[in-house]
Amino acid sequence: MSPPSASVFVRCSCGHLHWGRYGAAGLLLVDPARGVLLQRRAWWVHHGRTWALPGGAIEAGETAVKAAAREAFEEASVPAEAFRAVSASVVDHGNWSYTTVLALADGAEARVANTESAEVRWVDPDDVPGYPLHRDFAAAWPGLRDRVGQELVLVVDGANVVGSRPDGWWRDRHGAAERLRDQLAELARHGVADPDHATVTWWPRIILVVEGKAKHVTPTPGVEVVAADTDGDSKIVEVVAQQKARVLVATADRELKRRVEALGASILGPGTLRTRLDAL
The nearer residue to Zn ion, 18 or 205, going by C-beta atoms, is 18
CB of 247 to Zn ion, least distance (A): 35
The nearer residue to Zn ion, 14 or 263, going by C-beta atoms, is 14
The nearer residue to Zn ion, 83 or 96, going by C-beta atoms, is 96
x/- string (CB under 5 A) for Zn ion, residues 75-94? ------------------x-
Measure the N-to-C terminal CA separation of the chain; round to a whole number of Å: 29
19, 48 contact by CB (below 8 A)? no
CB of 20 to Zn ion, least distance (A): 11
CB of 86 to Zn ion, least distance (A): 26
* Subset of 4-23 contacting Zn ion (CB under 5 A): 12, 14, 16
Distance CA 179, CA 162 (A): 9
CB of 63 to Zn ion, least distance (A): 21
CB of 7 to Zn ion, least distance (A): 17
The nearer residue to Zn ion, 24 or 210, going by C-beta atoms, is 24
The nearer residue to Zn ion, 14 or 262, going by C-beta atoms, is 14
Distance CA 190, CA 276 (A): 10
The nearer residue to Zn ion, 14 or 241, going by C-beta atoms, is 14
The CA R_g of the chain, rounded to the nearest whole Å, is: 21
Based on the shown chain and the rule CB under 5 A, indicate whether residue 139 belongs to the binding site for Zn ion. Answer: no
The nearer residue to Zn ion, 66 or 93, going by C-beta atoms, is 93
* Subset of 87-126 contacting Zn ion (CB under 5 A): 93
CB of 95 to Zn ion, least distance (A): 8
CB of 26 to Zn ion, least distance (A): 15
Please report, as ranges, the residues that interact with Zn ion according to CB under 5 A: 12, 14, 16, 93
